[in-house]
Amino acid sequence: MSSVPYRIRRSPRARMARINVSPDGVEVVVPHRFPEREVEPFVREKSAWIERTLRRFAESEREFPRARVEDGGELPYLGERLELRVQVDAGRRRPHVRRRGQALHVLLPPRGDVGLALERWYRRRAADEIAPRLDAACRRAGVAYARLAIRGQRTRWASCSSSGTMSFNWRLLLAPEEILDYVVEHEVAHLEVSDHSPRFWSLLGSRSPGWRRHEAWLRRHGHSLRLA
C-alpha cells in the first residue's frame, strides 16, 4: 500500500489518470472506466514526486502562512497580517467588511458566507491598490493602457491584452507589496513587448532589477495566495 493518503475523483473529461497535488492533499483524477485496482500502483509509482511536492508545500507554508478565514484568524494584505473578526448580526441583510487598524471586521447576516464577503472586499481594494501603481508605472514608461480589470483567474496573476486591457488577479493583495509592484511592472513591459523574448526580460530588468527573485517567490508561494 502507498504511504501517501489520497482521494479518487472520476471525471468524464479525463482521458488518462493524473495526480493533482495541492496543500490540501493528493487527488487522483481518473476516467470513469479506469479500474480502481490500478489506482494504487499508479500512486505508488509517483510517490517520491508526491512526497517531495508535499514537503515543498509544507516548507512554503512555514515561511508564508496561508490565510485563516475564521474569527480570530489572520489574513495577509500586502505584507501585513490582519486579524480577522467575524460577527453574525441577525438583523443584517448584507455582509459588511471594514478595516480598522490591523484588524478586519466582518459583519454577516445569518447564513452569510465570510469567504465570499472577504473576496468581494479584496476585489474592491485591488482596484484601489493597483490603479495608482499602474498609472505611475505607465507614466514612467511613457505608455498607456485602455482599461483596468480585476479578475480571479485560477492560473494567471495578470495579463495584458492586445487591446490594452490590463487584468490583475485580486489575490495579489495576499502577497507582499513588492510582489504586486513587480507584477505591475511586468504587465506594463508587455505594453511594449508582447512576448517573453530576451528583449522583454532586458526591458523588465531595467525597471525591476529583482524580477528573478519575485518570480521565484510566486512559484514557491503562489499556491498560498487564496482564502480557501
pLDDT digits (tens, 9 = 90+) for 31-48: 999 999 999 999 999 999
With left for phi above 0 and alpha for psi between -120 and 50, is residue 49 left, alpha or beta? alpha
d(CA 171, CA 222) in angstroms, rounded, equals 9
Q: Kindly give the pairing relationship between strand 103-108 and strand 147-151.
A: unpaired
State residue 161's pLDDT score. Answer: 95
Domain spans of the chain? 7-63, 74-112, 118-224
Q: Tell me the CATH architecture of domain 118-224.
A: 2-Layer Sandwich (3.30)
Express each pLDDT in 45-92 by its tens digit. Answer: 999 999 999 999 899 889 999 899 999 999 999 999 999 999 999 999
Average pLDDT, the chain: 94
Contact (CB, 8 A) for 96 and 107: yes
117 class by beta-carbon count within 10 Å (0-12 exposed, 13-18 middle, 19+ buried):
buried
Q: Is the pTM of this model over 0.75?
A: yes
State residue 2's pLDDT score. Answer: 58
| β-bridge mates for residue 226, sequence order | none
State residue 155's pLDDT score. Answer: 81
- Per the structure block, which three cell numbers stand in for 109? 447576516
State residue 228's pLDDT score. Answer: 78
DSSP state of 36: G
How large is the greatest C-alpha to C-alpha distance in the chain, in angstroms? 61
Spans in the chain with pLDDT lower than 50: none
